[in-house]
């Protein structure tokens, strides 16, 4: 089979270099163009020396015609960039996977309020498929435009959805206490992400409201077919990669024991290549998924009370970004869903 002709817009940040790492060893993909206004002319391996000898391509000036020759274009750009170029590419028959947030929220007013800009192509939001394969695999197969989920939303939704879909919890008071490594803040130079500011410290941030809140709520409410009351607090933890979500909810029925719930999670995800339900009593560590596309989940019911605690870990740059984008590509192009993603996590 011919390789998929692929382009990347952006790609100078951490999701970009991670996407390049994954594509470098993906035998079904031919990367034809990678565009960056700021780095045009630079070899990607000069910007990202881990790619030396693995990736022989240079950043070029954005050029929509070059992109139109691709079968697939990834956007690894800041929010608000993809929406300006997507219509032209889609019309030209190119499939698009946007790793940013432009097409994740169906309610345009909500999106505009949280992202602080006017949406450039609301009509494409409607047709975009939210790229969480565990929920939307069939739609992804047919999609022309895939909105790759955010990192927190991936970890939280995979953790909460089985409880919600099975109506096992009270949705009046859901808590998602989430912790992210610093790579989630991106590769831009900022004082707050300096080693001297972010190491040897821990903090909550964006407690009044984080952009991933409406995305998570949309997913949970779609499953619940009703409103949910979710409190989401993200935290910055002093490491490079990884997200841990600790999820709290009250069970709404006495009928479900912890072992029932354990079985239910195992069954829900039994055919999923990238969701791993750990044995009862486990405490997943983010490092056990480092560099891989896995989400590892454990379920607890402390002191046999009526509170369920779900622990969910991913690598924010892989299952939370570039890896999930490759998984979506594999599905959309009818490849083996694990192609290019069969990576053993790096430990220690």
C-alpha to C-alpha distance for 126 and 106, rounded to whole angstroms: 6
Q: What is the residue whose two structure tokens read 């607090």? A: 233
Asked if 255 is part of the footprint of a copy of itself (rule: CB under 8 A), the reply reads no
| 254 counts as binding a copy of itself under rule CB under 8 A | no
Interface of this chain with a copy of itself, residues 77 to 106, rule: CB under 8 A: none
Q: Which is nearer to a copy of itself, 179 or 224 (CB)?
A: 179
User: Does residue 112 interact with a copy of itself by CB under 8 A?
Assistant: no
User: Which residue among 5, 24, 40, 87 contacts a copy of itself (CB under 8 A)?
Assistant: 24
Q: Shortest approach of a copy of itself to residue 123 CB, angstroms? A: 29
Q: Does 1 bind a copy of itself (CB under 8 A)?
A: no
Q: Going by C-beta distance under 8 Å and a sequence separation of 6 or more, which residues neighbour residue 12?
A: 36, 38, 39, 47, 59, 187
| Residue from 7, 219, 284, 323 in contact with a copy of itself (CB under 8 A) | 284
Does position 257 interact with a copy of itself (CB under 8 A)? The reply is no
List the one residue from 37, 84, 113, 203 that touches a copy of itself (CB under 8 A): 203
Residues 329-348 that bind a copy of itself (CB under 8 A): 342, 344-348
Region for 135 from its dihedrals, namely left if φ exceeds 0, alpha if ψ lies in -120 to 50, beta otherwise? alpha
Q: Measured from the CB of residue 232, what is the shortest distance to a copy of itself in angstroms? A: 8
Per the structure block, which two tokens stand in for 238? 């002093």
The residue among 51 and 94 lying less far from a copy of itself, judged by its C-beta, is 51
Establish if 227 lies at the interface with a copy of itself (CB under 8 A). Answer: no
Q: Which residues of 270-296 are buried (b: 16+ CB within 10 A; e: fewer)?
A: eebbbbbbbebeeebebbbbbbbbbbb
Cis status, amide bond into 322, omega within 30 of 0: no
Under the criterion CB under 8 A, does residue 244 sit at the interface with a copy of itself?
yes
> Measured from the CB of residue 26, what is the shortest distance to a copy of itself in angstroms?
11
Q: Looking at residues 129 to 158 of the shown chain, list those that interact with a copy of itself (rule: CB under 8 A).
A: none
Choice from 300, 321, 328, 335 touching a copy of itself (CB under 8 A): 300
Q: Does 205 bind a copy of itself (CB under 8 A)?
A: yes
What is the distance in angstroms between the CA of the first residue and the CA of the last residue of the chain? 38
Q: Cβ of residue 344: shortest distance to a copy of itself, in angstroms?
A: 5
Q: Does 196 bind a copy of itself (CB under 8 A)?
A: yes
User: Is 207 a residue that touches a copy of itself (CB under 8 A)?
Assistant: yes
Nearest partner of 325 among 310, 313, 341, 314, judged by Cα? 341
Q: Which residue has the tokens 């991670």?
A: 18
> How far is Cα 277 from Cα 251, in angstroms, rounded to an integer?
19
Q: Which of 243, 189, 198 is nearest to 12 (CA)?
A: 189
What is the C-alpha to C-alpha distance for residues 187 and 175, in angstroms, rounded to an integer? 29
For 203, the token pair is 């903090």
**Closest distance to a copy of itself from the beta carbon of 172 (Å):** 9
Q: Which of 151, 178, 196, 295 is catalytic?
A: 151
Provide the mask over 163-192, with x wherever binding to a copy of itself is found by CB under 8 A and - wherever it is not: ----------x-x-x-x-xxx---xxxxx-
**Nearest approach, Cβ of 66 to a copy of itself (angstroms)?**
25
Indicate whether 240 belongs to the interface with a copy of itself (CB under 8 A): yes
**230-236/203-204 β-pairing:** antiparallel
**3-state SS class at 89:** helix
Q: Which of 194, 257, 259, 260 binds a copy of itself (CB under 8 A)?
A: 194
Q: Does 43 bind a copy of itself (CB under 8 A)?
A: no
Beta carbon of residue 316, minimum distance to a copy of itself (angstroms, whole number): 11
151 part of the active site: yes
Q: Give buried/exposed letters for 49-76 (b at 16+ CB in 10 A, else e).
A: eebeeebeebbbebeeeebeebbbbbbb
Q: List residues with catalytic annotation.
A: 151
């Amino acid at each position: 089979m011919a390789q998929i002709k692929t382009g990347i817009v952006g790609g100078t940040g951490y999701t970009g270099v991670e996407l390049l790492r994954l594509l470098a060893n993906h035998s079904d993909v031919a990367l034809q163009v990678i565009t960056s206004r700021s780095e045009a002319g630079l070899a990607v391996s000069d910007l990202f020396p881990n790619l030396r000898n693995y990736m022989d391509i240079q950043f070029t000036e954005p050029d929509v015609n070059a992109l139109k020759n691709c079968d697939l274009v990834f956007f690894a750009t800041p929010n608000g960039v993809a929406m300006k170029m997507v219509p032209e590419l889609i019309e030209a028959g190119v499939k698009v996977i946007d790793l940013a947030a432009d097409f994740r929220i169906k309610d345009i007013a909500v999106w505009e309020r949280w992202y602080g800009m006017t949406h450039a192509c609301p009509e494409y939001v409607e047709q975009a498929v939210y790229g969480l394969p565990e929920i939307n695999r069939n739609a992804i197969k047919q999609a022309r435009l895939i909105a790759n989920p955010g990192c927190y939303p991936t970890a939280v939704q995979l953790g909460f959805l089985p409880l919600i879909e099975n109506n096992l919890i009270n949705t009046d008071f859901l808590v998602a206490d989430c912790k992210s490594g610093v790579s989630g803040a991106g590769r831009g130079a900022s004082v707050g992400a300096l080693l001297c500011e972010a190491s040897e410290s821990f903090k909550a941030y964006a407690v009044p409201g984080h952009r991933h809140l409406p995305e998570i709520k949309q997913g949970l409410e779609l499953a619940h077919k009703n409103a949910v009351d979710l409190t989401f607090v993200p935290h910055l933890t002093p490491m490079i990669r990884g997200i841990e979500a600790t999820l709290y909810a009250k069970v709404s029925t006495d009928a479900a024991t912890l072992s029932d719930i354990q079985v239910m999670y195992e069954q829900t995800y039994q055919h999923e290549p990238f969701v791993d339900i750990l044995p009862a009593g486990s405490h997943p560590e983010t490092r056990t998924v480092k560099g891989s596309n896995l989400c590892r989940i454990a379920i607890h019911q402390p002191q046999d009370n009526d509170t369920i605690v779900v622990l969910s870990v991913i690598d924010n740059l892989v299952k939370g970004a570039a890896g999930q984008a490759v998984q979506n590509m594999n599905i959309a192009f009818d490849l083996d869903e694990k192609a290019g993603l069969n990576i053993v996590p790096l430990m220690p």
